[in-house]
């Protein structure tokens, strides 16, 4: 398995940024920060498109060549600012790569719609009430897929 996990970047207990953790290399890098002066704005954050285009895309592309399952902790508004990111995800879907990802289903973006409508998609609502059951179901599906 390869891919990325999203992490909060905190300073004195306050969330000041969003980071990505590369599962394969263990390297962390920032994709958004409240103190950035440039980049698209999303809420209180400025997005670091350069890190998305250079690091995030490289990890996902490299993983797609080496592993059977690609984990993408979040495909959300920050990542979707990158045209290259969207193009890569579309390519991975067309190549029928196995991807386990979290998406914001209510976010109105063409890529999110494409993921939801993709023929092999399974959508699970991770609300607090059913979170444990859903995670167990996903885990069992992954185990069955690779047995």
User: Where do the domains of the chain lie, and which CATH numbers do they carry?
Assistant: 2-146 (3.40.50.300)
Q: Picking from 25-39, 52-66, 117-131, which range would have the lowest pLDDT averaged per residue?
A: 117-131
Percent of the chain at pLDDT above 70?
A: 95
Is 89's pLDDT higher than 70?
yes
Mean pLDDT of 20-48: 95
Three-state SS annotation for the chain: CEEEEEEEEEECCEEEEEEEEECCCCCEEEEEECCCCCCCEECCEEECHHHHHHHHHHHHHHHHHHCCCEEEEEECHHHHCCHHHHHHHHHHHHCCCCEEEEECCCCCCHHHHHHHHCCCCCCCCCCCCCHHHHHHHHHHHHHHHHC
pLDDT for position 147: 65
Mean pLDDT of 113-135: 78
Mean pLDDT of 74-97: 93
pLDDT for position 34: 98
Is 146's pLDDT higher than 90?
no
Tell me the pLDDT band of 123, cut-offs 50, 70 and 90. Answer: confident
């Amino acid at each position: 398995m390869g891919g990325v996990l999203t992490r909060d970047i905190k300073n004195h207990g306050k969330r000041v940024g969003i980071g990505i953790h590369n599962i394969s290399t263990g390297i962390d890098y920032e994709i958004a920060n409240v103190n950035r002066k440039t980049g698209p704005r999303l809420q209180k954050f400025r997005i670091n498109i350069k890190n998305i285009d250079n690091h995030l895309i490289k990890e996902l592309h490299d993983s797609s060549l080496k592993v059977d399952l690609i984990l993408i902790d979040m495909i959300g508004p920050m990542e979707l600012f990158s045209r290259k990111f969207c193009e890569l995800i579309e390519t991975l879907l067309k190549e029928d790569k196995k991807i386990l990802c979290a998406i914001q289903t209510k976010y109105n973006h063409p890529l999110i719609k494409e993921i939801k409508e993709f023929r092999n998609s399974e959508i699970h609502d991770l609300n607090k009430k059913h979170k444990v059951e859903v995670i167990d179901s996903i885990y069992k599906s992954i185990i069955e897929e690779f047995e």
